[in-house]
Amino acid sequence: MLKSLLGLAPKQEPDGSFSPSWLALKLGTSKVTDYERIAYAKYQGKRSKILVIFTEQKNMMMQNEKEFSTGNHPVEALVPMLHLRAAGFEFEIATLSGKPVVFEMWAMPSEDTEVMALYEELKPRFESPSPLQDAADQCMGETESYAAVFVPGGHGSMLGIPEHAQVGRVLRWAHENDLFTISLCHGPGAFLATALEGNEFLYRGYNMAVFPDSVDKQTPMLGYLPGPMPWQLEAQLTELGATIVNTKNDTTCCLDRRLITGASNLASNELGKLAASTLLEQLA
């Protein structure tokens, strides 16, 4: 009762899951983003496609058996995509089985005209994405047309994607063919898939920015999460040999070889700028 009065109680959804509390939404989301429109010199080469791997899962079971209503964070997906599109790149959208993309709709920046315009433009493709295996087969059949793989963040990106062999296959293909890999926040959970089926972890010795476990441990106190996380992303990446460069959920971005990462939703704009400018420079 006290948590409800203070705005700290997570909101229960019709399906029984919980979205963030009033206070958590006030502190952690915004109706507009910090997206900067930049006049890039548009890419004119053959490698104009980017494969974007989204989650199709909504609910994350926490340690206390309460479900968190999650998905992909819309800002973490759409703001980098705005930069990449402005730089001349196009997107192939996929989920693991071809089910619709799931977004954290409670984080949608509803008054940001450019973000919402891109969302509406791509909505039919979000509703009918390619199954990842089909998308992977297509990509690998025309490698010369692809520049990067992008895995947006949101806690939902930790559901299914890190345990999916096709994700590991795609990331190894990108690595072996000098494509860029782009991710932020909880999206780097996808990197764990490279160690499946007896394979060596692809990013051992790499620097990367990810959402800190320490912050995930604190957010239940504000009602952002309805309970403790089921597993710790930063700890698993570190155990496999990655070096995490940030300690806060901030604007930190990191470029290490052809891996481009960002720390949190706050890094979405900086990640988009870094990715767009790096691809333009390296693919020229």
Task: Kindly state whether residue 33 falls inside one of the protein's structural domains.
Answer: no
Task: Kindly state whether residue 158 falls inside one of the protein's structural domains.
Answer: yes
Q: What is the pLDDT of residue 56?
A: 98
Q: What is the pLDDT of residue 1?
A: 52
Nearest alpha carbon to residue 245 among 274, 211, 271, 221: 211
Q: What is the pLDDT of residue 4?
A: 59
Task: Kindly state whether residue 136 falls inside one of the protein's structural domains.
Answer: yes
State the average pLDDT for the chain. 96
What pLDDT band is residue 226 in, cutting at 50, 70 and 90? very high
- Amino acid residing at 272: G
> How many domains, in total, are found in the chain?
1
Check: CB of residue 252 under 8 Å from CB of residue 245: yes
pTM, 2 dp: 0.96
Q: Which residues pair with 254 in a beta bridge?
A: 261
Residue entry with tokens 């939404």: 25
- Name the percent of the chain lying above pLDDT 70: 98
Q: Of the residues 139, 185, 253, 254, which is catalytic? A: 185
Q: Give the pLDDT confidence of 30-82 residue by residue, as tens digits.
A: 999 999 999 999 999 999 999 999 999 999 999 999 999 999 999 999 999 99
Task: Kindly state whether residue 116 falls inside one of the protein's structural domains.
Answer: yes
What pLDDT band is residue 178 in, cutting at 50, 70 and 90? very high
Residue entry with tokens 């990462």: 261
- In three-state secondary structure terms, 10 is coil
What pLDDT band is residue 2 in, cutting at 50, 70 and 90? very low
Domain that holds residue 55: 43-283
Q: What is the mean pLDDT of residues 169-176?
A: 98
The count of other CB atoms within 10 Å of the CB of residue 2 is 7
Q: What is the pLDDT of residue 6?
A: 54
| Measured distance CA(149)–CA(137) in Å, rounded | 14
Neighbouring C-alpha atoms within 13 Å toward the C-beta of 278: 22
Q: Give the pLDDT confidence of 119-137 residue by residue, as tens digits.
A: 999 999 999 999 999 999 9
Task: Kindly state whether residue 8 falls inside one of the protein's structural domains.
Answer: no
Residue 258 CA to its chain's centroid (Å): 17
Active site residue 253: no
Q: What is the pLDDT of residue 3?
A: 59
> Could you tell me the CATH number of the domain that includes residue 241?
3.40.50.880
What pLDDT band is residue 8 in, cutting at 50, 70 and 90? confident
Task: Kindly state whether residue 29 falls inside one of the protein's structural domains.
Answer: no
Check: CB of residue 261 under 8 Å from CB of residue 184: yes
Q: What is the mean pLDDT of residues 22-26?
A: 93
Backbone angles phi and psi of 218, in degrees to 5: -90, -30
Task: Kindly state whether residue 36 falls inside one of the protein's structural domains.
Answer: no
| Measured distance CA(243)–CA(278) in Å, rounded | 21
- Pairing state between β 259-262 and 253-256: antiparallel
pLDDT(197) > 70: yes
pLDDT(209) > 80: yes
Q: What is the mean pLDDT of residues 206-213?
A: 98
Task: Kindly state whether residue 224 falls inside one of the protein's structural domains.
Answer: yes
Q: Give the pLDDT confidence of 232-258 residue by residue, as tens digits.
A: 999 999 999 999 999 999 999 999 999
| Measured distance CA(245)–CA(249) in Å, rounded | 11
Instruction: Give the H/E segment covering residue 19.
Output: strand 18-19
Check: CB of residue 253 under 8 Å from CB of residue 262: yes
- In three-state secondary structure terms, 58 is coil
